[in-house]
Amino acid sequence: MSENALAWPPLPYAAWRATALTLQLWTQIVGKIRLALTPWVNHSWQVPLYVTARGLTTSPIPFKTEIFDVEFDFNSHRLVVHGSGGAEKTIPLEPQAVAVFYGRLMDALRQIGISVRIDEHPSEMLNPVRFSEDYTHASYDATATHTFWQVLVQVDRIFKRFRSGFLGKVSPVHFFWGSFDLAVTRFSGRRAPPHPGGVPGLPDGVAREAYSHEVSSAGFWPGSDLLPQPVFYSYAYPEPAGFRNQQVPPDAYFDARLGEFILPYEAVRASADPEAALLEFLTATYTAAADSGHWERQALECPLGVPGRVRSI
């Protein structure tokens, strides 16, 4: 098997749909714990999770005079809570209802002295059921989850390389548990018109704060019932005139229903050089946003970063 095939495994959404839905709800519980205890940062940057060498983590969360973190370990298939005082609690990742996972995690936090209350209603999902009452979503395919994380590792490192080519304001590469996607966002520096809101399960105030400034945002989405395949996406807010008609790589297209450029994951993994194919998509769709939106590109851009080499100025 080739190195690319190992690094970019197939991830058919239909084969792990039940696990994906359950895992999304588990990540929302963990993410809402971070949300409840962490000071607000612009564009909700205090809430996402981050890819690690083992899975996904909250990063440090403040609690009184200490910190703790929560990590999904998709190698050993366990959820681990670490406290700065030395405490550690582990929950197995296995087939279990969302309500059971929620109860186990809250019990684990209480046992190490952390008390927190969260909004139990899932975010950005249709027909939400409170976490403590959800006994429907209870799937966990360890192999599929590990494969999903393997893909996130590849995407995370390439998104970070792409991120290095921008001098303006740019987000971290982070995993939003509401929409269940890994994303990176560049900013023009200009204010944007108020977002209209109306995102299911997301307060309008949160959407308006997230899109307070002009953006070109790209990400990886493992799929959903709306678009049942893993894809890379890229969009601009507000969408400039002519954006959707800009030239992009042959395998990419503009989805008018979503208002985004789409590149199927399968097209990337099947290419001779997946990293180059993804970088081409990221660059082309950012260029589409920047050119049609009249960004000050000379002031905002720089060559991609090189390890160990100071950027020339």
For 11-26, how does the pLDDT look when each residue is reduced to its tens digit (9 = 90+)?
999 999 999 999 999 9
Tell me, what's the pLDDT at 1?
53
Q: Average per-residue pLDDT in the chain?
A: 96
Tell me, what's the pLDDT at 5?
74
Tell me, what's the pLDDT at 2?
62
What one-character-per-residue DSSP string does 9-59 give? Answer: ----HHHHHHHHHHHHHHHHHHHHHHHHHS---GGGTTS-BEE-SSEEE--
**How many residues belong to the chain?**
313
Q: Is the pLDDT of residue 169 over 90?
A: yes
**Residue 46, exposed/middle/buried by CB under 10 A (0-12, 13-18, 19+)?**
middle
d(CA 196, CA 237): 11
Q: Given pLDDT bands bounded at 50, 70 and 90, which one contains residue 306?
A: very high
Tell me, what's the pLDDT at 313?
86
Tell me, what's the pLDDT at 104?
98
What one-character-per-residue DSSP string does 153-205 give? Answer: HHHHHHHHHHHTTB-S-BPPPEEETTTTEEEEEEEEEEE-PPP----TTS-HH
Which helix (H) or strand (E) segment holds residue 208: the answer is helix 204-210
d(CA 194, CA 211): 7
For 79-100, how does the pLDDT look when each residue is reduced to its tens digit (9 = 90+)?
999 999 999 999 999 999 999 9
For 188-226, how does the pLDDT look when each residue is reduced to its tens digit (9 = 90+)?
999 999 999 988 888 999 999 999 999 999 999 999 999
d(CA 221, CA 219): 7
Contact 43, 212 (CB under 8 A): yes
Pick from 238, 202, 257, 252: nearest CA to 44: 202
Tell me, what's the pLDDT at 45?
97
| pTM reported for the whole predicted model | 0.96
For 223-280, how does the pLDDT look when each residue is reduced to its tens digit (9 = 90+)?
999 999 999 999 999 999 999 999 999 999 999 999 999 999 999 999 999 999 999 9
**Residue 307, exposed/middle/buried by CB under 10 A (0-12, 13-18, 19+)?**
exposed
State mean pLDDT over 31-59.
Answer: 98
Tell me, what's the pLDDT at 145?
98
CA-CA-CA-CA torsion sign (200, 287, 223, 16): negative
CA-CA-CA-CA torsion sign (298, 301, 305, 311): positive
Share of the chain above pLDDT 90, in %: 95
Per-domain boundaries in the chain? 10-133, 142-300
Tell me, what's the pLDDT at 164?
98
